Structure 1
Amino acid sequence: MSSVTAGLLADAATLLLTHEAVPLEQVVAGMPTTGYATIDESDALEIGVWEMSIGAMSDVEVDETFVVIAGAATLEVLEPELAAIELAPGSVVRLTAGMKTVWTVREPLRKIYFAS
């Protein structure tokens, strides 16, 4: 995780993110990695940039709204069971804490997130 200094421009599209391998228990396909940087953080809200490489992983979500700025992926919400969401630049999605998901990334996915 890195952080951006207040008052400085953060270009979410080019911000350098350090990737780590997804834990094996979360890997569904391939060898995905993820990276993120926190832009701002308070007791009420965290704003950041998150990226995932090609592959698939499972996750349990936090309360979050995000905007996709690059890439292509399918987000499956397994619990509660919802229709799959096709993600592309401009997609805006709201997730709630405890949702069980599978992220299948076809082109490296980058999003700006707002999490509480």
Structure 2
Amino acid sequence: MTSIPTAAFALHVPTAELEPDPLDPAQIVSGTPEVSGLVLSESASGESGIWQITPGVVTDTEAAEVFVVLSGRATVVVDGGPVLELGPGVAGVFQEGDRTTWTVLETLRKVYAITY
């Protein structure tokens, strides 16, 4: 993913141009989902950015993350944990190592912060 310069800036998140970030084919359960994103800041302790995924079903192993969904809809099943219904305005938290299955119903865009 492309990074934004380290100087102060402001960005209109809903229309920000994102760069393709191809999925590992082993993560795709069904459909033809595509991922894109933009790293807004990065340091030794983590990163923040914008992430988007188109409809389909994928699996993932999550980082320690806080996020807010801007648009779209998805259901995320956390192995051994809750089922998250994501939509505009929903904030969520993943724990590092959470194994998830994402069923994306409408292209979903979120702003995230990951802690290393």
1:8-56 per-residue CA deviation (whole Å, 9 max, x = no partner) reads: 2222111111224422210011011101110011112211000001101
**Alignment match, 1:15:** 16
State the identity as a percent.
Answer: 34
1:71-116 per-residue CA deviation (whole Å, 9 max, x = no partner) reads: 00001101xx122111001111110111100111110000000001
Correspondences of 1:66-81 after superposition (within 5 Å)? 66-78=67-79, 81=80
Q: TM-score, normalised by structure 1?
A: 0.92
Number of residue pairs aligned between Structure 1 and Structure 2: 114
8 Å CA contact 2:39–2:47 kept in 1: the answer is yes
For 1:61, give the aligned amino acid.
Answer: E
**Alignment match, 2:36:** 35
Correspondences of 1:82-101 after superposition (within 5 Å)? 82-101=81-100
8 Å CA contact 1:58–1:103 kept in 2: the answer is yes
Q: TM-score, normalised by structure 2?
A: 0.92
Distance 1:21 1:109 in 2: 16
Give 3-state SS (helix, strand or coil) of 1:25's partner: helix
8 Å CA contact 2:21–2:37 kept in 1: the answer is no
For 2:104, give the aligned amino acid.
Answer: V
Structure 2 alignment gaps of length 5 or more = none
Segments of 4+ moved more than 4 angstroms: none
Distance 1:107 1:15 in 2: 18
8 Å CA contact 1:22–1:31 kept in 2: the answer is no
8 Å CA contact 1:74–1:104 kept in 2: the answer is yes
